[in-house]
Chain A
Amino acid sequence: MPNRKYSFSPAQDEDGPLVERTLEGDRQAYEQLVRKHEKRVFRTTIAILGELADAEEAMQETFLKAYQNLHTFRRDARFTTWLTRIAVNESLQILRRRRDTAALDDPETAPQNLRPHRVEEWYANPERHYAAAELKRIVEEAIRALPPTYRVVLLLRDVEELSTEETAAALGLSIPATKSRVLRARLMVREALAAYFEKPPTLRSRLRRATSMVRNMMAMALERPGGWFGGR
């Protein structure tokens, strides 16, 4: 098992050379950085803001600020993490302008109940039941339905494939807080997609579930020392 402690050396940053060239005044190098990262920045801003016009404004501000502040980029993280952090801050600023408060750790938006409700099996390769454009609409709708903090966590972690540590750093959250949001986001989006992908319940599937529940309880009771059926 690899050591999962977060360690980073500047040599690992594939954007390092483009960053250096930009700092030397090469604007084409910066344009290359923008082209490479606009997708991720846009996913971050649209996740937090929800509205296209706001997301677009936040994206423009992000790339302008990043250029103007590139000399302050200390190479203790990847460029992309640093850039995503700026995108988060720009988005939050716009959000603050629109509302009274804006924070990514707003406890009021945290759904309390994690328990999955939809537990029917899905069709095999359920995405093949929909045309590509329709599937994309379904997925985007499911993500839009999440509270902003869960949207952004899901997009960074599971679409942009940042590590837990990088997601935490980009959002200014602790690692435990990030992990708990990732889990909730995944379960919530699964629930939303289940509406489109699950098979209708059958008598057999209900029976199988009941049987497995009973077997499960028996197994746990038997294995647990001093378990449910009395003392040792």
Chain B
Amino acid sequence: MLTCQEVLDNLSCYLDGEGSEELRRELERHIARCAQCFVIVDTTKQSLRIIADCEPFEVPLATSARLYERLAHFFAGLL
């Protein structure tokens, strides 16, 4: 049986669906028995879903506008 530390070390493998079948089975087995690791794996997975869904750090409109202005200015200088 894997230790809690080993589960933590291999957390990304598990979340990204990487690693060998055997490792994944071992991880599943540990998580099924260990309430603490279950919470850590489950809440890390939820964290990543929430982060991706809320599209953090979008380009502010004014920042975007100034980018196109600068590019237009640059291209005009090339003419």
Contact = CB atoms under 8 A, between A and B. Distances in A.
A56 B1 contact: no
Residue of B12, B15, B39, B43 with most chain A CB atoms under a 10 A cut-off: B43
Contacts, number: 138
A135 B59 CA distance: 17
Interface residues of B, number: 45
Interface string B31-57: 001111001101110111011111111
Interface of B: 1, 3-4, 8-9, 11-12, 15-16, 18, 20-21, 30, 33-36, 39-40, 42-44, 46-48, 50-60, 63-64, 66-68, 70-71, 74-75
Contacts of A213: 34, 36
Contact of A190 (B18, B33, B36, B47): B47
B67 A59 contact: yes
Interface string A43-71: 10011000010011001100110010000
B39 A121 contact: yes
Contacts of B3: 220
Nearest to B47: A190
